[in-house]
Amino acid sequence: SLLRSPLEEENPKTASMVQELVKEKAVEALKKCFASRMEFGTAGLRAAMGPGISCMNDLTIIQTTQGFCCYLEQSFGNLKERGVVIGYDARAHPPSGGSSKRFASLAAAVFISRGVPVHLFSDITPTPFVPFTVSHLGLCAGIMVTASHNPKQDNGYKVYWENGAQIVSPHDKGISKAIEENLEPWPESWNTEEALKSPLLKDPYQDVHTQYFKAIQKHCHHREINKSSQVKIVHTSVHGVGHTFVQSAFKAFDLHPPYAVEEQKDPDPEFPTVKYPNPEEGEGVLTLSFALADKEGASVVLANDPDADRLAIAEKQESGQWRVFSGNELGALLGWWIFHCWRQQNPDTAAVKNLYMLSSTVSSKILRAIALKEGFHFEETLTGFKWMGNRARDLLDQGKTVVFAFEEAIGYMCCSAVLDKDGVSAAAIAGEMVSYLATKNISLSQQLTTIYEEYGYHISKNSYFICHDQDVIRSLFDRLRNYGGQKDSYPTECGRFSISAVRDLTTGYDSNQTDKKAVLPTSRSSQMITFTFSNGGVATMRTSGTEPKIKYYTELCAAPGNSDVTHLKKELDDLVDAIVENFFEPVKNKLQPKPE
């Protein structure tokens, strides 16, 4: 009755969906809705919108927010003075009546019912605006209602801590426990109309808009070049929130406004022109952008994902073909550019000792190569911006300068006012880099080659296998830990390639450390092993936290001067083939390859 009464009473759409399923005796569908509660992890929630405890709906949003609110009350004595911020994207699911805006209002009502001030954006915003607001206003926490680049039926609930970064463990466990203890909706939680009239509710939209664009202007170094630039750039927000914000970011940098892809510039929760609203998918999502660029004579395309926290870039080559850069290639370009600009501003050679760049352990090591040569610090973290954001905050608190962080999944932090990936500031900074290079008649592709020539080629190849059987996944990784039947013994070679080091972040073993203990945090709940090869190759195999995938990330790091790219690519292809054949054993384990 607990589940039925509030649902029936408050949101007729989800209630009638359940009644339909009951009428049709759709046992499996009902089980799926009600069998297990969504798990609250460090990335918050991500699930389909619809009825039941396994989906995003009014009731589960209220329950989640009640838990989060109680956890914040326990964590902060001054929660009622400081408050929280809530933002949302443009997602909506007409069949169940769920939408990001509705969920954000319900979350606001929960906090207001407990006397907590809420800064609720009056309109859609990019995800990075929430961590920016937490830091800018000194709040206890932030919530962003978004499913980023997931399929249209999904939504999500992403949480930031007072330091402006996404939460890491043990906060997820604490919040999860608090949710379980507060499942009964508080009487005022449903009362969004009253809450929205409360003096505790503020709209930060104008102030944050002004302050954010002021903050990113500090990262504009070539205003005169931008003003006179002849470069034409196309931008798509892929039916998400990015359009007006990227236009404003270009304006803040005195760049000419990018041409917007008309069919995709306005938010549309149906995402009608794309199969998946994920610019990482490359050409399928960018077809309309390429057509517009060809029509306008533009040479560069910028694409944000629907919540504008990530950025893809493509460039027209001399052959007339479009090249879509990988996240690792863009990490190299943006890292080079940001260091180049920093160096021009800071000619004092000693200052470089205070400078830091970060990337995740499955991303390209190109920043390490640049850091070694230029004298700044490079650190790697576990996968995901929550780790980079928290590490950046620690470094900033120690008086260090953190200028850049990136991950291969096209996420970039170019501006430490936002301790998370931000596709809006990255778009403007990329626009300035393109304009600057154009004055020297250099394309992005040419500049990337120059970076590799100077710091060493870094060639990567990432993919995955699909596997729905947890036992198969477990035995695949256990075989690597007890290789050749020897307990706690890892492989020393893979095909013709010899292995020089092994790091296992599931068990905490690292053959490179004197005490054999890994430096990065370890987690028994996920699988992750990294092999380093004598030929400069690095390969990481890991399970995905959100999908039934075993992913692999491989990179060949060559020394500067070794520029036989064809040979390096073949060497990497051979290495990947050997890893697939010897370590994944796809036939034996019935693994499905990544669909082409």
What does DSSP say about strands 201-202 and 118-120: parallel, antiparallel, or unpaired?
Answer: parallel
Which are the contacts of 73, defined by CB distance < 8 A and separation ≥ 6?
Answer: 79, 114
What are 156-185's pLDDT values in tens digits?
999 999 999 999 999 999 999 999 999 999
Q: Are 536 and 515 in contact (CB under 8 A)?
A: no
DSSP annotation of 54 reads T
pLDDT of residue 596: 74
What are 305-353's pLDDT values in tens digits?
999 999 999 999 999 999 999 999 999 999 999 999 999 999 888 999 9
pLDDT of residue 75: 98
Indicate where the chain has its CATH 3.40.120.10 domain(s): 4-204, 218-449
Question: Topology of domain 4-204, per CATH?
Answer: Alpha-D-Glucose-1,6-Bisphosphate; Chain A, domain 3 (3.40.120)
pLDDT class of 31 with cuts at 50, 70, 90: confident
**pLDDT above 80: residue 275:** yes
Could you say which architecture CATH assigns to the domain 458-593? 2-Layer Sandwich (3.30)
Calculate mean pLDDT across residues 266-275.
Answer: 97
Q: Are 552 and 426 in contact (CB under 8 A)?
A: no
Q: Are 313 and 412 in contact (CB under 8 A)?
A: no
What are 536-548's pLDDT values in tens digits?
999 999 998 778 8
What are 195-227's pLDDT values in tens digits?
999 999 999 999 999 999 999 999 999 999 999
| SS3 assignment, position 451 | helix
Q: Are 451 and 336 in contact (CB under 8 A)?
A: yes
Q: Where in the sequence numbering do the catalytic residues fall?
A: 148
Calculate mean pLDDT across residues 381-388.
Answer: 96
What does DSSP say about strands 233-236 and 300-304: parallel, antiparallel, or unpaired?
Answer: parallel
pLDDT class of 4 with cuts at 50, 70, 90: very low
- Burial of 474-488, coded b for 16+ CB within 10 Å and e otherwise, reads eebbeebbebeeeee
pLDDT of residue 2: 37
pLDDT of residue 3: 40
pLDDT of residue 10: 65
CB atoms closer than 10 angstroms to residue 218:
10
Residue 320: exposed, middle, or buried by beta-carbon count in 10 A (0-12, 13-18, 19+)? Answer: exposed
| pLDDT mean across residues, the chain | 95
For every residue of 490-535, DSSP letters joined together read --SEETTEEEEEEEETTTTEETTSTT-B-SS---TTS-EEEEEETT
CB atoms closer than 10 angstroms to residue 549:
20
What does DSSP say about strands 322-324 and 311-316: parallel, antiparallel, or unpaired?
Answer: antiparallel
**pLDDT above 70: residue 8:** no
CA 41 from chain centre, in angstroms, equals 15
What does DSSP say about strands 141-145 and 84-88: parallel, antiparallel, or unpaired?
Answer: parallel
pTM of the model: 0.94
Calculate mean pLDDT across residues 359-373.
Answer: 97
What are 485-522's pLDDT values in tens digits?
999 999 999 999 999 999 999 999 999 999 999 999 99
pLDDT of residue 14: 84
pLDDT of residue 517: 97
Q: Are 185 and 98 in contact (CB under 8 A)?
A: no
More confident residue, 525 or 206: 206
CA 167 to CA 252: how far, in whole Å? 31
Question: Topology of domain 218-449, per CATH?
Answer: Alpha-D-Glucose-1,6-Bisphosphate; Chain A, domain 3 (3.40.120)
588 beta partners: none
Indicate where the chain has its CATH 3.30.310.50 domain(s): 458-593
pLDDT of residue 1: 30
More confident residue, 528 or 546: 528
